[in-house]
Structure 1
Amino acid sequence: MNDSALTPERILDAAEKVLRRFGPTKATVVDVARALGVSHGSVYRHFPSKATLRDAVAERWLTRISAPLAAVAAEDSPAPERLRRWFDVLMKSKRKMVRDDPELFATYYQLTTEAREVVGAHVATLKAQLARIIADGVARGEFSVPDPVGAARAVFHATTRFHYPVHAAEWSDPAIDAAFDGV
């Protein structure tokens, strides 16, 4: 491959394949470069360190989760329905990842535990989406809360069992949906 055709997107595609094949503890930048047919220096021109590359992979994964949620938050429909749909989309996407490819989900989970700044930005994005829905509901008289941002933070934290990856083993419990309905 010609190094001039090397883009961050192609590197991230290759990094995901390498992570799938070797796992996060054994995957290296050299493996990513080898998969692309370039030198590891070519990869480092786009991502100055292994940590930066891994953070970019984690950020890409988290964006795949938050993008559909942003669409739900932006809808012009009743806030209670949007709030429920937002959580349904979040939980369904994560459960699907766990069910369809548990090894890759575990890899991404490990990457995100190391990418604290990336995860912090992702969580802030999710809370902002929730705050938008709640603020819309307050404006329409559907919710009565004095602080939509605080309410969003509370709702997010009250529901972590249903979407935070550390709880993934619980998601196959047949009573999980009933438990969410209770919250």
Structure 2
Amino acid sequence: MSPTTETLTAERILEATEEVLRRHGPAKATVVDVARALGVSHGSVYRHFRTKAALRGAVTKRWLDRTSDALAGIAGAEDRDPRQRLRDWFQGLFDAKRRKAGDDPELFATYSVLTEENGEVVGEHIAELTAQLTRIVEAGVASGAFTAGDPKAVARALFHATGRFHDPCHAREWKRPDVQDEFDAVLDLLLRGLEAQRPS
């Protein structure tokens, strides 16, 4: 079935947009390029995304959501030890970012530009990630594994304290052979700080 005879959906447009961005980069990719890749008129694309900015924002959100969706299962595993959940969650975040940067560096560079353009989308993504972290911290407090006055504030602090291992501006450092050891040392320190104080 040809693209013109298939039902045009927002998801198909976003898939095509990602491919166009990979091929042309964010500076040169246009809605006309996306429409051409789909075999439709650019007006058909605009019926789903009213502006070029809306399309770029949606494709950025889709890219970021892949990470938060993958981590949601770890955050929601209520039957697991909160300390291990926290470690696995951060390891999952670090691994996802490293894969994106290493497996497709051109697309990673493109999305680094798009995230700069789409501050609101990035803010929503960070809010989702810190909400997942908050859930883990709350479970740790409830079980007695963690001591935390305000789980939301602790979650934000944890996220910022580990920024070197998930903020794209540090992507070049993720190739260093000792970066996993450094990540483990930071996580060990943070977990020790969270663990409930035992009576002497």
Q: How high is the TM-score relative to the length of structure 2? A: 0.89
Structure 1 residue identity aligned to 2:55: L
Q: Distance in 2 between matches of 1:117 and 1:143?
A: 32
Q: Which amino acid aligns with 1:52?
A: A
Instruction: Say if 2:91 is the partner of 1:88.
Output: yes
- What does the per-residue CA deviation read over 1:32-56, in whole Å, with 9 as the maximum and x for residues that have no partner? 0010111111100100011100000
**Out of 143, 148, 154, which is 1:145 matched to?**
148
What is the match of residue 28 of structure 1? 30
Distance 1:97 1:126 in 2: 17
State the Cα deviation string for residues 65-95 of structure 1 (Å, max 9, x = none): 1011111000020101000000111111111
Q: CA offset at residue 179 of structure 1?
A: 1.6
Q: What do the CA deviations read for 1:103-144 (whole angstroms, capped 9, x no partner)?
A: 111111111111111100000000000000000000000001
Deviation at 1:3, TM superposition (A): 7.5
| Aligned twin of 1:42 | 44
Matched AA of 2:80: S
SS for the counterpart of 1:5 is: coil
- Pairwise CA distance, 1:182: 2.3
State the SS of the aligned residue for 2:29: coil
1:112 paired with 2:86, answer no
Are 1:11 and 1:36, in contact at CA under 8 Å, matched by a contact in 2?
yes
Query: Matched residues in 2 for 1:3 and 1:136: separation?
Result: 50
| Letter of the structure 1 residue corresponding to residue 68 of structure 2 | S
Unaligned runs of 5+ in 1: none
What CA distance in whole angstroms lies between the structure 2 residues aligned with 1:43 and 1:35? 11
Identity %: 60
Cross-structure match for 1:8: 10
RMSD: 1.1
Amino acid at match of 2:149: P
Tell me the number of residue pairs that the alignment of Structure 1 and Structure 2 aligns. Answer: 183
Provide the rounded CA distance (Å) in 1 between the counterparts of 2:4 and 2:160. 47
1:77 to 40, 57, 80: 80
* Partner AA of 1:37 in structure 2: G
Structure 2 stretches of 5 or more lacking a match? 187-200
Structure 2 counterpart of 1:14, one-letter code: A
Bigger CA radius of gyration: 2
1:165 corresponds to which letter in structure 2?
P
Q: Give the TM-score taking structure 1 as reference length.
A: 0.97
Aligned-partner Cα distance in 1 for 2:123–2:147: 28
Distance 1:117 1:141 in 2: 36
Q: Work out the CA distance in 1 between the residues paired with 2:106 and 2:151.
A: 37
Q: Is the 8 A contact 1:69 1:90 kept in 2?
A: yes
Is it true that 1:154 corresponds to 2:164 in the alignment?
no
In 2, are the aligned partners of 1:79 and 1:142 still within 8 Å (CA)?
Answer: yes
